[in-house]
Amino acid sequence: MLQVCLNGSRNRVDHPALPVTAAELATAARAAVAAGAEDIHLHPRSPDGAVTLDPGAVAEALTAVRAAVPGVPVGVTTSARSAPDARRRAELVRAWTVLPDHASVDWHADGADLVARALWERGVGTEAVIRSGTDAVDRFRTSLFAGRVPRVRAVVADTEPLTALASATALLRALRPGLKAPVLLHGEDGGAWPVLRRATALGLARRIGMEDVTRTPDGRPAPDNAALVRAALAVPGATRTYPRAARPPAWSAPQATRFAWDAGRKCGV
């Protein structure tokens, strides 16, 4: 499975073609899916361009993107960049009028369980974000939601191309004992392409897009998210298919929404 991350917290200074508005996100999603992306992650924005969990902004972004790519799972962030206080983020999740298929929760941030609980109550699948170089692994292992998330997103924060792979190996090894959920592995900036190649070799779900990197593997600026998706699928072995992972039996919710359970194999280091 290849997820495209359309914008993240970057701005137009980082890339002039970064999608920000709901209409731009919809256009970028359509092109990325046409290029081969199977899942979408985005950061809704307020009118001034700031990342937000405001119900109106979330609804506008999700509605526009779903109209552009019907049937493709769409997820959003719950990052502290949108609201520093976890209680406030949980309140905003409970106020959403249009629900995403999944939402990411940063387990290195305080209050991750509060936000995950709010998502669970709304029937939204939690993508647990475990970032290298933090205590996220330990926090996640002691969380009530450790056995209930449908996917773990392992983020290699090491942006040095020469050391990112060692960081990826260490992160996967730390996650492996007792992990029930399938893993999506990805890197950032200078580590994005080396880690994507490693994820491909391991048969893990992968991610690419302007949130993670704005350059193609040869170092040239990418014109858009679709170009990054095409480059990711050109990596040898990228088009192989793997068995679908089963839904973790511990995960349930009162209003379960459809979630993309095809996340590849569990980490195999």
Question: How far apart (Å, rounded) are the C-alpha atoms in residues 25 and 57?
Answer: 12
pLDDT of amino acid 233: 97
Write down all domains in the chain, each with its CATH number in brackets.
Answer: 2-233 (3.20.20.70)
Question: How far apart (Å, rounded) are the C-alpha atoms in residues 174 and 138?
Answer: 9
∠ CA(93), CA(38), CA(146), 5° rounding?
Answer: 45
Question: How far apart (Å, rounded) are the C-alpha atoms in residues 55 and 137?
Answer: 30
Amino acid at 73: P
The rounded Cα 172 to chain-centroid distance in angstroms is 17
Residues 103, 82, 140, 102, Cα dihedral to 10°: 0
Structure tokens at 112: 């991750």
Backbone angles phi, psi at 93, to 5 degrees: -60, -45
∠ CA(198), CA(185), CA(208), 5° rounding?
Answer: 90
Q: For the whole model, what pTM was predicted?
A: 0.88
Q: Which residues contact 211 (CB under 8 A, 6 or more apart)?
A: 5, 6, 7, 8, 9, 10, 41, 43
Nearest to 37 by CA among 212, 181, 245, 269: 212
Helices (H), 123-249: 136-141, 164-175, 192-202, 225-233
Question: How far apart (Å, rounded) are the C-alpha atoms in residues 269 and 258?
Answer: 30
pLDDT of amino acid 254: 38
> Taking a C-beta distance cutoff of 8 angstroms, is the pair 156, 169 a contact?
no
Structure tokens at 138: 């330990």
Structure tokens at 259: 């979630």
Q: Which residues contact 19 (CB under 8 A, 6 or more apart)?
A: 6, 7, 25, 27, 28, 210, 225
Blockwise average pLDDT, block size 10, the chain, 269 residues = 96 94 98 98 96 98 98 96 94 98 96 96 96 96 92 96 96 90 96 97 97 96 98 82 41 38 34
> Taking a C-beta distance cutoff of 8 angstroms, is the pair 148, 253 a contact?
no
- Report the interhelical angle of 192-202 vs 164-175 (nearest 10°): 50
Q: Which residues contact 151 (CB under 8 A, 6 or more apart)?
A: 102, 125, 127, 128, 181, 182, 183, 184, 205, 263
pLDDT of amino acid 255: 38
* Strand ranges, E, within 97-144: 102-106, 125-131
